[in-house]
Amino acid sequence: MQKKVFRQRLLYAMLSAKLTVVSWTLFMWLTKGYNFSQLKEILFLVVPLFSANLIIMIQYYLDNEKIAASDNEDIVPSPVRIVGLVGSLLYAFYMIGVLSMVPGETDAFNDLKEMLGWGEILFGVYLGYVVKAVFK
């Protein structure tokens, strides 16, 4: 797969994963799984990290004309493609699983936030490596 095509697919996979997590959070709030205060805390945990990496990817697309044609013709190895695309799926499944554990008390919600934090940290590390490797 060409590097240019892989970059596009990776961007769509990461955006889809994050939008799925945010949508699921809103769904849980609408179905009374969380109150508004809990919704805000979850969104403050989930949204900010991705914006930094999204800026890098969007800047790539804005600067796309400057990228050498030979760079776009490079072939991305299969292991990189698999890790790049499967990582977004794993993130979405993990976060939806954690968000589906509806907390009934404060201690449970604090545990939920901690698990969400770990998911975001791992996704941040994953994004850092993948974005640096593919979008430089």
Taking only the tens place, the pLDDT of each residue in 17-68 is 888 999 999 998 998 888 899 899 989 988 887 777 677 667 776 776 565 5
Q: What are phi and psi of 86, to 5 degrees?
A: -70, -30
Structure tokens at 115: 């698990």
In the chain, how many domains are there? 1
Specify the pLDDT at position 96: 92
Structure tokens at 68: 């050498």
Q: Residue 87 burial by CB count (10 A; 0-12/13-18/19+): exposed, middle or buried? A: buried
Read off the pLDDT band of 94 (50, 70, 90).
very high
Provide the residue range defining the domain that includes 19: 3-134
pLDDT, the chain, mean: 81
Mean pLDDT of 92-118: 83
* More confident site: 98 or 67: 98
Q: pTM of this prediction? A: 0.81
| 58 close to 41: Cβ distance less than 8 angstroms | no
Residue 104 pLDDT exceeds 70: no
What is the 3-state composition of the chain as percent helix, strand, coil, each rounded to the nearest 5? 85, 0, 15
Residue 116 pLDDT exceeds 70: yes
Residues pairing with 75 in the sheet: 2
| 22 close to 47: Cβ distance less than 8 angstroms | yes
